A and B are shown apart, each in its own frame.
Chain A
Amino acid sequence: MNESKKIKRILEIIPGALSWSIILGLICLSMFKPVVCAVIIIVFDFYWIIRTGYLTTLLLMAHRRLLKDKNKNWLKACERLAPKYDWKSLHHLVIFPVYKEGIDILRASLEALRACYYPKEKMIVVMAFEERYKSSWETAKILEGEFGREFEGYLTTYHPDGLSGEKRLKGSNATWAAKKAKDYLETKSIPLDKVVVSCFDADTCVDQQYFGCLTHHFIINPKPHQASYQPIPVYNNNIWYAPSFARIVEISASFCQLIESMRLEKFVTFSSHSMSFKTLVDIDYWPRDMVSDDSVVYWKAYLFYKGDYRVIPLYITVSMDMAYGSNFLKTIVVQYKQKRRWAWGIENFPYVVSRFMNNPDISIFKKIRRSFHLLEGHVTWAIWATIMVIIAPLPILLGGFFFNQMPIGYNLPRITGMLFNFTLITSLIWILLTRTILPPRPKDVKWFVNILMLLEWAIVPFIIIIVGSTPALDAQTRLMLAQYMEFFPTEKRRKVV
């Protein structure tokens, strides 16, 4: 094993080893030094209360911004900036990497694109299919017939299987499509720096104002090519038909993304996002051998621009499908696997740190700060629910008679209870905010689903146990043991009405 591979392996081991050390260390302490364990838990509880309060405030701020920006006429805003900013020369390239999604899902995504207020003669659409799925050829033909003449350009690409240096991942397909689009742009003599590329999951339905908003942020940015543009993903497409478990988890995921949009120094691209096509070409497209292509593409650009690259939040939603199975148990499995795939973003840590080590152009402060953010975020994700649900009662159970007779033994469950009560208050805020991002109730959905949507928040403690920390711990353990994950496309369902 050469030196760089050794360093990469060590970096892969660090997050999992750290998370497991904290968990096992606390379990051992609860048996042999319950007072020390209780002190750590109380410090963590107090930290978590303050963190929850802080993040909920950020959520409220981001939500307020979302409501404000959602109703803005972004095209008019662009026009007001002309002629200082030439927005009309911009072209939008939209890539939909398709795995096995059916025509109903793809048609809805294209219809949403067609319904956008942005001029269609400035939009080029690429439907990127996998060549190995012959059934997709028929779908491609139908879609081309329906939408082929709606935009400035419409391309259908088929990503060949088994290209060298590639894994069967979304990034490979998207990269193939982007290369074909580059050829297309060059034949049309469209300069690459005048193209903004958006890579959307196949089920993404954009807001009608999306491209206006994106264009506005792109043209007013002094360094437009040194930024990615991140909309707020909401899982609304099938929200009224999804089971409670999936609904709560996905709404929470949307809110987490809203919170992240306020923390600009940590903000990284996630799922559907947009960026300069020139930058994408410069950084050699999306990664073709990593599952978390959406965030790695950001790090590639960050390294390319020597740390002078950022993610600009777009307070406008892109709506996607909620992941759920045909029954409750399958829904839990589907959700668990999806969260584990998201948590697999920890593969960014060895990728980024190993490259930081060989990059003298980025300041040491930036390197330490970004590495710490990456590690801290994922380790906290892997341990918080385990500490609060499993480890917090352990000193009481294993600490013995003398510990339970001490004030700290007596106060520990009270402090933990206080934490849960505080979490309940924040849940109330989340419930209220949920109502504001919901799409209108379809006619075939009964009115009492509204009440169900309020009551279902009671299952949050149960959800915390299942998808709180375990998927992240699972992902980190796999990385630690070099059991690398393959891309797992999430099972999504949509009721055809």
Chain B
Amino acid sequence: MSKEQKIRGVLFYISCLIFILGLPGILTYTMGFQFDRRTWKFTRTGLISLKSDPAGADVYLDHNLFSEKTPCSINDVLPGAHHIELTLDGYYSYSSDIEVLPSKVRRIEKIILFPLRADVQQLNKERISSFWVDDSRNLVYYVNMDENSIYRSDLDGEHFKLLANFIELRPPPKQWLFSPDREKLLYFSSRQIGLINLHPENESLPQESQFVINYPQDNIQDIFWHADNYHLIIAGEKKISILEAKPESLPFVLVNLNKRNASVFFDPRDEVIYFSDSQRAEDGRTYDNIYKLELKTKLYPFRDLIRLKPNEREQKD
């Protein structure tokens, strides 16, 4: 037999030995068994699977440091109550008491480690009273009620600048709303509506760049922008009205409400108003209902789909 064949023979038997000796170990490990040296018996154990965001956290099981960092799995955990703690520099630690069952996997895989406050930074460069974030354009708006000013910056506080000075309302405004095209900014109190045109150069009349509409008819609860960026849906205490966003505009009442402080919601995509109101039934009792009011006409539902010839279009126009 050549030397190579002898080596091969040795290799073969070593491989067989590894297989025979290693297989029971691998099988018992994967099936969650642990050999208890005290009792000389295989006992069923449980398994803990840990994942954290961010990864790489130190893991403590019952206050003992585990050899791996997250994501990891701790095999051969004896059944019963255990304490888990995750620590990572610069983040708040996470801890939890868990129950491990025999032959079961305990998955704790949605841990978020939150950063410590060291990362907090101030965004505003001027005094402010309130703010709101326009996440569609990654901008932050700031309001200074003492000076009646609005500022704007990006999400990191950079490019901080004065946007406009607004006309003061009485009582002070309770909410600020952008038009869908982000060209106009609306603010309102219970009796007044203020409107700022963010691009006054687009307006033909200078008085339309910033104005206040008085609304003495009702107590304003909420306002919604119509999709046309021009009409406003006013949800008052007693009625739901429509108002044009221009000086001296007069409201058009859509619904008179029986119930005070009814809930109103406007869906600008389908131009539908949903509102709650109370109604007296035939049995003489009053019930609360939810109503749906469609602003779009349904008389010609296929109007937009029919293609007209040019001469027909002229006639129609």
| Cβ-defined contact, A407 with B4, below 8 A | no
Among the listed stretches A39-47, A191-199, A294-302, which one makes contact with chain B, having 4 or more residues with CB under 8 Å of it?
A39-47
Determine the interface band of chain B, counting residues with CB < 8 A from chain A. 20 to 34
In the assembled complex, B31 has its CB within 8 A of some CB on chain A: yes
Q: Which of chain A's residues 51-69 have a Cβ closer than 8 Å to chain B? A: 51, 53-54, 57-58, 61, 65
Closest to A62 in B: B4
- B249 proximal to A (CB < 8 A): no
Interface of A, secondary structure class, is helix
* A47 vs B18: C-alpha distance when bound (angstroms): 10
Q: Known contacts A58-B8, A61-B8; is A407 also within 8 Å of B22 by CB?
A: no
Contacts of A404 in B (CB 8 A): 105
Tell me which residues across on chain B come within 8 A of A409, comparing CB atoms.
105
> Smallest distance from the beta carbon of B101 to chain A beta carbons, Å?
9
Contact check, B30 vs A42: say whether CB atoms are below 8 A apart.
yes
Q: Looking at chain B's contact residues, is the secondary structure mostly helix, strand, loop, or mixed?
A: helix
Inter-subunit contact A405/B104 (CB<8 Å) = yes
Q: How far is the CA of A54 from the CA of B75 in the complex (A)?
A: 29
Q: Give, as a whole number of angstroms, the nearest-CB distance from B277 to chain A.
A: 47
Are B8 and A46 touching (Cβ within 8 A)? no
Q: Cα distance A414–B30 when bound, in Å?
A: 10
Contact: A406 with B15, CB < 8 Å?
Answer: no
Residues of A within 8 A of B104 (CB): 405-407
Of chain A, the residue at the smallest CB distance from B32 is A407
Q: Are A43 and B27 in contact (CB under 8 A)?
A: yes
Complex: A66 Cα to B5 Cα, angstroms: 15
Q: Which residues of A contact B15 (CB under 8 A)?
A: 50-51, 53-54
Query: Does B131 count as interface, using CB distance less than 8 angstroms?
Result: no
Contact A411 B27 (CB under 8 A): no
Q: Report B-chain residues with C-beta under 8 Å of the C-beta of A38.
A: 30
- Report B-chain residues with C-beta under 8 Å of the C-beta of A35: 31
Known A50-B18, A54-B12: A407·B31 in contact at CB below 8 Å: yes
Inside 8 A of B256's CB, which chain A residues have their CB?
Answer: none
What residues of B have a CB within 8 angstroms of the CB of A24 in the complex? none
- Report the bound CA distance from A385 to B8 in whole Å: 26
A264 at interface by CB-CB < 8 Å? yes
Report A414 CB to chain B, min CB distance, Å: 8
Given A61-B4, A262-B8, A406-B103, A411-B29 contact (CB < 8 Å): yes
Most buried by B among A46, A405, A407, A411: A407
CB-CB < 8 A to A410: which residues of B? 47, 49, 73, 105
Other-chain contact of B27, A39, A47, A50 (Cβ < 8 Å): A39
In the complex, chain B residues 76-124 whose Cβ is within 8 Å of any chain A Cβ: 103-105
Contact with B along A396-413 (1 / 0, CB 8 A): 000000001111111110
Please determine whether B4 and A65 come into contact, CB atoms closer than 8 angstroms: yes
B194 interface contact, C-beta 8 A: no
Q: Is the CB of A43 within 8 A of B4?
A: no
Contact of B47 among A42, A263, A407 (CB under 8 A): A407
Shortest A58–chain B CB gap in Å is: 6
Would B8 and A407 count as touching, CB distance under 8 A?
no
* Complex Cα gap A407–B18 (Å): 23
Is the CB–CB distance between A406 and B105 below 8 Å?
yes
6 closest A-B pairs by CB: A407-B32, A411-B30, A54-B15, A410-B105, A407-B47, A408-B31
18 further A-B contacts with Cβ under 8 Å, apart from A46-B26, A47-B19, A411-B30, are: A42-B27, A43-B23, A46-B22, A50-B18, A51-B15, A54-B11, A54-B12, A54-B15, A58-B11, A262-B8, A405-B105, A406-B31, A407-B31, A407-B75, A407-B105, A408-B31, A412-B30, A415-B30
User: What are 27 pairs between A and B in contact, CB < 8 Å?
Assistant: A39-B27, A42-B27, A42-B30, A43-B23, A43-B27, A46-B19, A46-B26, A47-B19, A50-B19, A53-B15, A58-B8, A65-B4, A263-B8, A405-B105, A406-B103, A406-B104, A406-B105, A407-B31, A407-B46, A407-B47, A407-B75, A407-B103, A408-B30, A408-B32, A409-B105, A410-B105, A414-B73
